[in-house]
Chain A
Amino acid sequence: MNKFKILVVEDDDEIREVVVDYLQMEGHDVVGAVNGREALEKIESWGVPGLIFLDLNMPIMAGQEFLDLIKDNMNYVQIPVVVMTAVPDSKVTNVVAVLTKPVDIDDLASFATKFAQKALLETT
């Protein structure tokens, strides 16, 4: 059985590493990306994830730009996105949730579990 794919997009190394590690520990197939552009590359090379955790404030390509791009793309528009940000911005739409930093690891884990189960239901 294929593991549930999760992409973590976060420029802060510490946060990204701890989130990736923990979700992997939880049994998911998780990769990290340091900015939006790397995230797009990951989606193309690694495959379409079932869930994306997305930071907004990032260099090179910020979260909002990345979000706009995948929502414009027929193939990626369905991917659920959970935003993590220090400064909540009302302009962020088309996402599952906006979590305000500092986030709880349990919240991230429960979103992962929920969407993994949902994906499992849909495939069977």
Chain B
Amino acid sequence: MTKPEDLLNFQYTEGSMKVLDLLPTAVIYIDKEERYLFSNIYYETRYGRKRESTLGFTLRDVLGSDRYSEIEPHVKRALSGERVQFEMLIPREGGTPENCLCIFIPDFNSEGVVLGFAGLAQDVTDYRKAIEALSFSEKRFNSFADSIPQIVWIRENQGDLQYINKAWYEYTGIDPTGLNTVEVHEAIHPQDKDRVVAAWNKAHSDGEPFEIELRLQRRDGVYRWFVAKAFPLKDFPAGKIKWFGVSTDVHKTKVSELRALSIQELSASLLRSTTKEEVIKAIIAEGTKALGADAMAISWKVPSTQYLDLVGSLGYPEEITMRYARVSIDDDLPASACVREKQIMYYSHANAWSSDKPKKDLTTAFSARANIPLFQGDEVVGVITFSFREPQDFDTDFRMSVKVIADEFNQAIERAYLALEQELYAKKVIELQMITSELSKAKTEPEVMNVISQYVFTAFEADAGILSLPTVNNEALSIEIFKGFPVEFPTNFKVTSVQKKTVAARTFLSGTPYFYISPEEILEHCPDSVPLVNTNFKSLACLPLNVNHGCLGIIFFAYLKTRPFPETTRNLMVTLASYSAEALERSRLFDISERAVKARDNMISISAHELITPVSGIKLKLQVLRKKLEKGQEVSKEDLLKLTIQTDNNLNRLSKLVNDMLDISRINHGKLTLQSELINLSQVLTQMIDGIELQTKTAKCTLTYSIEPDIYIYGDAYRFEQIVTNLISNSCRYASGKPVHLSLKKDESQVKLTVEDQGIGIKKEDQRRIFERFERATTLNENTGLGLGLFIVKQIVDAHHGRISLDSDHQKGAKFKISLPLYSESL
């Protein structure tokens, strides 16, 4: 047992004692007998225990049993060699107890035996208060931070995350407990990760706040745009910077901004695109960016089939584009459904369109999709598919953008089609100009028909064409030329009555064009056109060949496939038909004028012959007579008489010819004027009989006649003499040696003048022609005459409002009948 006086000599130097006395901490030394060997001044004064009352006394003695029992376990542990630290309330001298941090440090000798322990007590009341305050503030911060929708976080240096609020978990679904930075980065969009890391590194080295836009993946896989802001907090021990960060969801604004920009670019590209191919290229180049899609495809409907053909794509692996290069509208695919439904279809995730059965497409990396139908008029002609790797919200904003893009695209396509149509129209116009020029070059009707068959029928890509012309009296239509029809059709239906309800008849009778797009439409309006429909024609354009005086016929274009006839095409068809009609009309006029020219040339030749022949005869005879007289040869009186008679006859012949020619000339110039008055036609004819008998006698014809007396007409007596003379001389010429009969009679309203012979007659086919100018029933050389006689007769009859007809047959004589209006008092 150590004596107290020894204890006072506790092996501390004075210096070290002084140091201990200066400390603002209570320090004591307790030996293994639990006796105080040392206490410093702070202990003495702070807790009111003078050294005299402590040194050499045990803890139990100094503190009293109650307080000792409080610290006894700590004491025992310290004396067993353990460092002990605890907090306890220690009453101050004359004051309130203070919260002290107590530390017992065991004291060992060189053998490791515990000699005692040093006890230290430090007032930690202020510290505790500070800790409590901090804890309260932290709690308040947490509850505040958790209540806001922003993601709030704290991290130290580049180290681990120290704090992240509830919003994080709610958004990402990732448990924040034990999170490190790397794991947090997992939520960042792969495309944004590098950028974010780079920004962090820069912020750290600069120690400056930073702000960055990035996409974070929501718990359901959707990425949304955030703005992350971080501030460095520097009030920490040197080298430590805490970063306080807030990430705010700006998806809506950001996406609208991005979209607005991209859509602007897309619109500009679409505006620049003039062809369908360019439009498709533009939407593929800009479309995915505009909608934030990962891939897109455009499929086009193959006209009049159920197929959709892929015409362009971006971002799909080749196996996908190969597999869906052609799909059917009936397939169970989003694109097919879109065409069927004729509306934009949204699928926010893969299961949205394939809930009931597994889809082959699910094997791909794509999840959400939007399918946009492309329209031409009311018809869906294609579909755009946008695919997204991640599920999508497709919010109102997105759908608005899709609508805008769909509209812009459809408009661009429409513009492209319009441009194409205009281009095709221009080409068509040039082609039609070529055809028109061919038509104008064609002189004769066969030439015109040839151009129509060769060019016009094919001008509008028709599969078949027909040109029909009316038969005599416009009673029926007859197929004149055709192309592209099975041979039996034009054979079986060559001539069809205009009374039938056919496309051709309808067009011909109305003189207006008709366009039928479907067989149903054809049959509805033209039930008799069944054969056309049965020949598998679906669409028809039937055009009248109109000229200013009527409809010459019809031309029609037939199509094996349904074909719409746009306004421009209709107009071009009508134009071409009218050019064809004009060409046809011109060729006919050309034919008429050709014939007229030929007839006139003939006439000149005949006139020359007819006029020269009598002159030649007289001239030769006179020359011979002159020679005889010059040579003093005898010329008999009979010869002279014969010569004078012949000369007289020839001169009469010449005069008659010249008069005929003058009449023709007058008729040609519309100057056949009548000196009309009331005449007794019976009397006129009777007076002529002597002359006529002389005429028939010369031709060795026997004349018989019956003239009803006192038949009056209003007309020109001289012209009637001409009629009778011409008809009689016609009979004399063609019925030489046969009887000729002249008759004049009347009924209640008509006067009938008839000249009938039993000569060679006139063939049926020639009967219409003989009343025309310079025409003769027989060939040129068989009979003399200008061929003007009957023409003149007809002109005179016409001028008297009468009619002339012919009743004749070859070798059976001819009967010319003239009927004239009878003069009546009432007129």
Are A104 and B613 also in contact (CB < 8 A) when A60-B781, A87-B608 are? Answer: no
Give residues of chain A (44-94) contacting chain B, Cβ–Cβ below 8 Å: 57-60, 62, 86-87
Tell me how far the C-beta of B392 lies from the nearest C-beta in chain A, rounded to whole angstroms. 95
Q: Which residues of the partner chain A approach B616 to less than 8 Å between Cβ atoms? A: 12, 15, 86, 101-103
Q: Which residues of the partner chain A approach B621 to less than 8 Å between Cβ atoms? A: 14, 18
Give residues of chain A (14-44) contacting chain B, Cβ–Cβ below 8 Å: 14-15, 18-19, 21-22
The answer to whether A105 touches B781, judged by C-beta atoms less than 8 angstroms apart, is: no
Asked if A106 lies at the interface with its beta carbon under 8 angstroms from chain B, I say yes
> B605, B617, B623, B646: which contacts A106 (Cβ < 8 A)?
B623
The answer to whether A86 touches B623, judged by C-beta atoms less than 8 angstroms apart, is: no
Tell me how far the C-beta of A32 lies from the nearest C-beta in chain B, rounded to whole angstroms. 13
Give residues of chain B (613-649) contacting chain A, Cβ–Cβ below 8 Å: 613, 615-621, 623-624, 627, 646
The answer to whether B781 touches A102, judged by C-beta atoms less than 8 angstroms apart, is: no
Nearest B residue to A12, CB-CB: B613
How many angstroms from the CA of A22 to the CA of B613 in the assembled complex? 18
The answer to whether A18 touches B609, judged by C-beta atoms less than 8 angstroms apart, is: no
Nearest B residue to A109, CB-CB: B627
Q: Which residues of the partner chain A approach B618 to less than 8 Å between Cβ atoms? A: 14
Q: Which of A59, A87, A102, A103 neighbours the largest number of chain B CB atoms within 10 Å of its CB?
A: A102
The answer to whether A18 touches B613, judged by C-beta atoms less than 8 angstroms apart, is: no
Tell me how far the C-beta of B647 lies from the nearest C-beta in chain A, rounded to whole angstroms. 10
> A15, A18, A59: which contacts B781 (Cβ < 8 A)?
A59
How many angstroms from the CA of A102 to the CA of B612 in the assembled complex? 6
Q: Which residues of the partner chain A approach B605 to less than 8 Å between Cβ atoms? A: 87
Are A12 and B624 also in contact (CB < 8 A) when A60-B781, A62-B781, A86-B612 are? Answer: no
Asked if B825 lies at the interface with its beta carbon under 8 angstroms from chain A, I say no
Asked if B782 lies at the interface with its beta carbon under 8 angstroms from chain A, I say yes
Q: Which residues of the partner chain B approach A102 to less than 8 Å between Cβ atoms? A: 612, 615-616, 619-620
How many angstroms from the CA of A62 to the CA of B783 in the assembled complex? 13
How many angstroms from the CA of A25 to the CA of B615 in the assembled complex? 23
Q: Which residues of the partner chain A approach B617 to less than 8 Å between Cβ atoms? A: 12, 14-15, 18
Q: Which of B605, B620, B783 neighbours the largest number of chain A CB atoms within 10 Å of its CB?
A: B620
How many angstroms from the CA of A7 to the CA of B650 in the assembled complex? 25
> A59, A86, A105, A106: which contacts B613 (Cβ < 8 A)?
A86
The answer to whether A86 touches B620, judged by C-beta atoms less than 8 angstroms apart, is: no
How many angstroms from the CA of A119 to the CA of B2 in the assembled complex? 201
Q: Which residues of the partner chain B approach A18 to less than 8 Å between Cβ atoms? A: 617, 620-621, 624
How many angstroms from the CA of A19 to the CA of B617 in the assembled complex? 9
Q: Which residues of the partner chain B approach A105 to less than 8 Å between Cβ atoms? A: 620, 623-624, 627
How many angstroms from the CA of A107 to the CA of B612 in the assembled complex? 17
Q: Which residues of the partner chain B approach A104 to less than 8 Å between Cβ atoms? A: 619, 623
Q: Which residues of the partner chain B approach A22 to less than 8 Å between Cβ atoms? A: 620, 624
How many angstroms from the CA of A107 to the CA of B618 in the assembled complex? 16
> B613, B623, B650: which contacts A101 (Cβ < 8 A)?
B613
Nearest A residue to B782, CB-CB: A59
Q: Which residues of the partner chain B approach A101 to less than 8 Å between Cβ atoms? A: 612-613, 615-616
How many angstroms from the CA of A104 to the CA of B619 in the assembled complex? 8
How many angstroms from the CA of A62 to the CA of B609 in the assembled complex? 13
Tell me how far the C-beta of B462 lies from the nearest C-beta in chain A, rounded to whole angstroms. 48
Tell me how far the C-beta of B688 lies from the nearest C-beta in chain A, rounded to whole angstroms. 28
Q: Which residues of the partner chain A approach B623 to less than 8 Å between Cβ atoms? A: 104-106
The answer to whether A86 touches B646, judged by C-beta atoms less than 8 angstroms apart, is: no
Tell me how far the C-beta of A62 lies from the nearest C-beta in chain B, rounded to whole angstroms. 6
Are A57 and B624 also in contact (CB < 8 A) when A12-B617, A15-B616, A102-B616 are? Answer: no
Q: Which residues of the partner chain A approach B611 to less than 8 Å between Cβ atoms? A: 86
How many angstroms from the CA of A103 to the CA of B621 in the assembled complex? 11
Q: Which residues of the partner chain B approach A60 to less than 8 Å between Cβ atoms? A: 781-782
Tell me how far the C-beta of B393 lies from the nearest C-beta in chain A, rounded to whole angstroms. 98
Nearest B residue to A88, CB-CB: B608
Q: Which residues of the partner chain A approach B613 to less than 8 Å between Cβ atoms? A: 12, 15, 86, 101
Are A57 and B781 also in contact (CB < 8 A) when A86-B612, A87-B608, A101-B613 are? Answer: yes
Q: Which residues of the partner chain A approach B650 to less than 8 Å between Cβ atoms? A: 14
How many angstroms from the CA of A22 to the CA of B623 in the assembled complex? 10
How many angstroms from the CA of A82 to the CA of B615 in the assembled complex? 20
How many angstroms from the CA of A76 to the CA of B619 in the assembled complex? 31
> A19, A21, A86, A106: which contacts B609 (Cβ < 8 A)?
A86
Give residues of chain B (578-623) contacting chain A, Cβ–Cβ below 8 Å: 604-605, 608-609, 611-613, 615-621, 623
The answer to whether A14 touches B646, judged by C-beta atoms less than 8 angstroms apart, is: yes
Nearest B residue to A56, CB-CB: B609
The answer to whether A15 touches B609, judged by C-beta atoms less than 8 angstroms apart, is: no
Q: Which residues of the partner chain B approach A62 to less than 8 Å between Cβ atoms? A: 781
Tell me how far the C-beta of A81 lies from the nearest C-beta in chain B, rounded to whole angstroms. 18
How many angstroms from the CA of A22 to the CA of B617 in the assembled complex? 13
How many angstroms from the CA of A42 to the CA of B496 in the assembled complex? 59
Q: Which residues of the partner chain A approach B783 to less than 8 Å between Cβ atoms? A: 59
Tell me how far the C-beta of A82 lies from the nearest C-beta in chain B, rounded to whole angstroms. 15
The answer to whether A19 touches B620, judged by C-beta atoms less than 8 angstroms apart, is: yes
Nearest A residue to B781, CB-CB: A59
How many angstroms from the CA of A104 to the CA of B616 in the assembled complex? 9
Nearest A residue to B633, CB-CB: A25
How many angstroms from the CA of A47 to the CA of B605 in the assembled complex? 33
The answer to whether B782 touches A57, judged by C-beta atoms less than 8 angstroms apart, is: no
The answer to whether A57 touches B620, judged by C-beta atoms less than 8 angstroms apart, is: no
How many angstroms from the CA of A62 to the CA of B619 in the assembled complex? 23
The answer to whether B609 touches A87, judged by C-beta atoms less than 8 angstroms apart, is: yes
Q: Which residues of the partner chain A approach B604 to less than 8 Å between Cβ atoms? A: 87
Tell me how far the C-beta of B25 lies from the nearest C-beta in chain A, rounded to whole angstroms. 155
How many angstroms from the CA of A102 to the CA of B619 in the assembled complex? 7
How many angstroms from the CA of A102 to the CA of B621 in the assembled complex? 11
Nearest B residue to A25, CB-CB: B624
Q: Which residues of the partner chain B approach A59 to less than 8 Å between Cβ atoms? A: 781-783
How many angstroms from the CA of A29 to the CA of B635 in the assembled complex? 23
* Chain B 749-781 near chain A by CB (<8 Å), digits 1 or 0: 000000000000000000000000000000011
How many angstroms from the CA of A59 to the CA of B781 in the assembled complex? 4
* Chain A 91-120 near chain B by CB (<8 Å), digits 1 or 0: 000000000011111100000000000000
Nearest B residue to A21, CB-CB: B624
Give residues of chain B (667-720) contacting chain A, Cβ–Cβ below 8 Å: none
A-B pairs with the 9 shortest C-beta distances? A14-B617, A86-B612, A59-B781, A102-B616, A102-B619, A105-B623, A86-B609, A101-B616, A18-B620
Cross-chain pairs A/B with CB under 8 angstroms, 13 sampled: A14-B621, A14-B646, A14-B650, A15-B613, A15-B617, A57-B781, A59-B781, A86-B611, A101-B613, A101-B615, A104-B619, A104-B623, A105-B620
Task: Write the residues of chain A forming the contact surface with B, with a CB cutoff of 8 angstroms.
Answer: 11-12, 14-15, 18-19, 21-22, 57-60, 62, 86-87, 101-106
List 10 additional A-B contacts (Cβ < 8 Å) besides A14-B621, A101-B613, A106-B623: A12-B613, A14-B618, A14-B646, A21-B624, A60-B782, A86-B609, A86-B611, A86-B612, A101-B616, A103-B616
